[in-house]
Amino acid sequence: MALEAATRDVPRVPWTRRHLLGLEELTRDELLAILDTAERFADAERRRKKRANLAGKVVVNLFFEPSTRTRTSFGLAARRLGADVLDFSSAGSSTSKGETFIDTAKNIEAMAVDLMVVRHASSGAPYLLAQHIQCGIINAGDGAHEHPTQGLLDMFTIRQKKGRLEGLTVALVGDILHSRVARSNIHGLLKLGAKVIVCGPPTLVPPAITELGVEMSYSLEQILPRCDVINMLRIQFERQRSGLFPSVAEYARLFAMDGARLRKAKPDLLLLAPGPINRGVEITPEVADGPHSAILQQVANGLAVRMAVLHLLCGQPGEA
Amino acid sequence: MALEAATRDVPRVPWTRRHLLGLEELTRDELLAILDTAERFADAERRRKKRANLAGKVVVNLFFEPSTRTRTSFGLAARRLGADVLDFSSAGSSTSKGETFIDTAKNIEAMAVDLMVVRHASSGAPYLLAQHIQCGIINAGDGAHEHPTQGLLDMFTIRQKKGRLEGLTVALVGDILHSRVARSNIHGLLKLGAKVIVCGPPTLVPPAITELGVEMSYSLEQILPRCDVINMLRIQFERQRSGLFPSVAEYARLFAMDGARLRKAKPDLLLLAPGPINRGVEITPEVADGPHSAILQQVANGLAVRMAVLHLLCGQPGEA
Amino acid sequence: MALEAATRDVPRVPWTRRHLLGLEELTRDELLAILDTAERFADAERRRKKRANLAGKVVVNLFFEPSTRTRTSFGLAARRLGADVLDFSSAGSSTSKGETFIDTAKNIEAMAVDLMVVRHASSGAPYLLAQHIQCGIINAGDGAHEHPTQGLLDMFTIRQKKGRLEGLTVALVGDILHSRVARSNIHGLLKLGAKVIVCGPPTLVPPAITELGVEMSYSLEQILPRCDVINMLRIQFERQRSGLFPSVAEYARLFAMDGARLRKAKPDLLLLAPGPINRGVEITPEVADGPHSAILQQVANGLAVRMAVLHLLCGQPGEA
């Protein structure tokens, strides 16, 4: 396959960034450089062997919001590349003793740290750090802003399954308003030539989002026949309490993916979901485990994408 | 010693299992293969050097019940063999966001994991996983069902101290009803030819347990002179509140091991306890620290036994 | 520089201790041996490479009080030297199930552990352990007694910035009564020939402390012009509730370091603070980030000092 061959080449652009803060500021060539590098790590056989790209480097997971899956994925990716990994969570940390966010990060950096993987409830927090910190910073999710490695692993999975991104129609379905996953998908997919539709109940789809260059819809039924890919965003039940959607049952009736709805879609529809999924709510078990779903493939690809990002930001050159 | 020599041999049976779920389903030869392999790791000098049996492998501790000692022992054993180790506890995990137990495990498996060490409050949980997961699974305690590596380390310690298991009389004393340690001991010891007596207050010793092939007694005094080994199960104080035994003082008077009781036992009685022990309750300090006790030796042996299990399930052949 | 050259020499005394419990019992030569060894690790370039001094060794962080920065620093230092590191916190541990402190430590030791780094709320706890445990013990803070590696990194930073310790006047300012950092500084600095002044409100400076050989003052204004170094101890707000100082504002007015006060000090005054700092309370932001402050340098030096201690206690000889 031509794509496979291309990935054995050197990256098309020399990588010069120190941070990965969001997909919004990356160029098309930089996005492709990450995806191509990730292909080299994605082959399970090669991933299994311990590599030395980050030997002697220290990667710190600095998570101010709870996370298991993203933190674990970054931790495993860094260890696979030979780095030492340290988990630093906010619970019981010095920030609870009155220390500022930046002072906490500067203190950690002073311990000879090379890369910080940062998750924070405030949009922009990793950008603030990047102005005060010398070591590399990876945004692992900031508020409702961006979650760039999730966007990258979604794009990687689409390209892996469809052979391309250009010209595809990709729908993001659910809570667009609060979703950093949606924002990173939108920025990345548009740059690589896909058409993006955002779809959900009116309370969760802000009209201003069309300014990013996406189509907007309140009806999954209407857009379904046109979609090549649907990315089912997670329902965050805590939003319901705030009155943003009337009931889980009503949401599921309109936006969940079940067998009946699937029959109205293209026969080769690809289904993504960032997880953890609520079985029987936004997706039925037979669909989640069916042939259209790439949910577990996404998790596996997340490891390859994060290895690629870690390698590009601070790996030994020529070691990919 | 003949035993020592035998352990240098290759395992008597080629190891073919992918999982260690319980001692009930292992054959006598498989039990011996684990114990013999553990002997090779038990020598402190050899244990100290870092080995490469599991180099490049990822072992995940997936604990849905709190544990320090078992989790630490598995973590150290895996690191000694060169594996990367990841701790995944249920607190703050995706299962609390509505994800199913099996989905959580499948997601972790998708991150290129080789072995999962699982503890769960529900009997049978690791068996359920084994039906849905491709990677190897080790049961680190499931409800009141089995705790196979604890059973193995108890058997290993008995064989180490007594030179054999066959023909010995081993008593399990305490809360038999809720003890997964008791069940794993019973299955393993009977297969290797020991006689097993279970002993405790009537509320904590279910008569149906005799169907497993053990003798039952409500009086430690009566069985004491016949025992070669006594395994003092831990008193779980939370059971007292549920009315299963009248008072700690009464329990201790009847079933605790103190100096006076010890004088009625065989002079070479071996005392085991899975720990953590309640000094002055089920065992007095002078007995716990005395010459009959192998409590700390059990902890050291636990490391060797877990190294053996990890190696047999996914180590490089010929690297023991 | 003569100092630099000296540090390339072998330690002046052969190191014979198994534990680092406090600076009170160390000789002047032993203190210098640690500081000189730390110099060899302090060069960032050399620190970056992964070393094998502790290859095959297991270091356990046994923390019975919450800590992020000290635990992280020890963990990174041990990993830099090739050790396996295990974090064992008291939350959810066996001590909460009725196990004694010493039994918990003995159980951990039985898992082939080489060094324990112990923090405990009770003064003397690491000394108690040292009487019952065979492996090496490092005191990472015991009650209000000692925090030897913090004292050492303070001394290291002073020597690094001033070229010497002998003849300098060092003030410790703040809550002397409850500060283990103060006690370790006093013992170490006096042995290496510095003059030490303790300074704070009368409720927080016990007059008996002068028996250690330090000068005492209740007025920062009076001692300020004489000081070469000021170590600003952290204000522990929980003390205020117990009535030990009247108000944070009043404390800050008398003992905080701001620009106005700094102008009354020697022009080359060196400012230390163990952190985490309360910006605007005991130190203003412009002073904390200004040219007199070595706060982040202290954190970096902490790594070097802890590598030195770990190496001296159980590293391969000739590998520094």
Highest-scoring range by mean pLDDT, B81-95, B274-288, C91-105:
B274-288
Q: Are B39 and B54 in contact (CB under 8 A)?
A: no
Query: What does the mean pLDDT of chain A come to?
Result: 89
Token pair for residue B34?
A: 């684990």
Of residues C145, C164, C195, C190, the one with CA closest to residue C28: C190
Kindly list the structural domains of chain C, giving each domain's residue range(s) and its CATH number in brackets, ordered by start: 2-146+302-314 (3.40.50.1370), 148-299 (3.40.50.1370)
pLDDT at residue C1, as a whole number: 33
Render pLDDT for B32-61 as a digit per residue (tens, 0 to 9): 999 999 999 987 556 567 788 999 899 999
Instruction: Give B-chain residues touching C101 at CB under 8 angstroms.
Output: none
SS3 per-residue string spanning chain A: CHHHHHHCCCCCCCCCCCCECCCCCCCHHHHHHHHHHHHHHHCHHHHHCCCCCCCCCEEEEEECCCCCHHHHHHHHHHHHCCCEEEEEECCCCHHHHCCCHHHHHHHHHHCCCCEEEEEECCCCHHHHHHHHCCCEEEEEEECCCECHHHHHHHHHHHHHHHCCCCCCEEEEECCCCCCHHHHHHHHHHHHCCCEEEEECCHHHCCHHHHHHCCEEECCHHHHHHHCCEEEECCCCHHHHHCCCCCCHHHHHHHHCECHHHHCCCCCCCEEECCCCCCECCCECHHHHCCCCECHHHHHHHHHHHHHHHHHHHHCCCCCC
What ipTM is given for this predicted complex? 0.88
Instruction: Give B-chain residues touching A76 at CB under 8 angstroms.
Output: 58, 84, 86, 111-112
Q: Which of C56, C92, C103 sits opposite B49 (nearest CB)?
A: C56
pLDDT at residue A4, as a whole number: 38
Other CB atoms within a 10 A radius of the CB of residue C312 amount to 21
User: Is some CB atom of chain A closer than 8 A to the CB atom of C143?
Assistant: no
Does the distance separating the beta carbons of B98 and A66 come in below 8 Å?
no
Confidence tier at C14 by pLDDT (50, 70, 90): confident
Give mean pLDDT, residues C123-137: 96
Per the residue annotation, which of C70, C104, C149, C157 is the catalytic one? C70
pLDDT at residue C87, as a whole number: 87
pLDDT at residue C95, as a whole number: 58
User: Is some CB atom of chain C closer than 8 A to the CB atom of B56?
Assistant: no
User: Is some CB atom of chain A closer than 8 A to the CB atom of B100?
Assistant: yes
Render pLDDT for A144-174 as a digit per residue (tens, 0 to 9): 999 999 999 999 999 999 999 999 999 999 9
Confidence tier at A23 by pLDDT (50, 70, 90): very high
Contacts of B115 by beta carbon, 8 Å cutoff, 6+ apart: B57, B58, B59, B60, B78, B83, B135, B136, B137, B138, B310, B313, B314
Does the distance separating the beta carbons of B111 and A276 come in below 8 Å?
no
Render pLDDT for C136-177 as a digit per residue (tens, 0 to 9): 999 999 999 999 999 999 999 999 999 999 999 999 999 999
Q: Are A187 and A24 in contact (CB under 8 A)?
A: yes
**Window from A144-148, A285-289, C84-88, C287-291 with minimum mean pLDDT:** C84-88
Does the distance separating the beta carbons of C299 and A107 come in below 8 Å?
yes
User: Is some CB atom of chain B closer than 8 A to the CB atom of A276?
Assistant: yes
Residue C179 clears pLDDT 80, i.e. is over it: yes
pLDDT at residue B123, as a whole number: 96
pLDDT at residue A63, as a whole number: 93
Confidence tier at A45 by pLDDT (50, 70, 90): low
**What is the set of active-site residues of B?**
69-70, 97, 119, 147
Per the residue annotation, which of C17, C46, C69, C264 is the catalytic one? C69
Does the distance separating the beta carbons of B110 and A275 come in below 8 Å?
no
**Window from A35-44, B191-200, C118-127, C296-305 with minimum mean pLDDT:** A35-44
Of residues C71, C200, C56, C64, the one with CA closest to residue C129: C64
User: Is some CB atom of chain C closer than 8 A to the CB atom of B89?
Assistant: no
Residue A293: φ, ψ to 5°: -80, 135
Instruction: Give B-chain residues touching C110 at CB under 8 angstroms.
Output: 296-297, 299-300
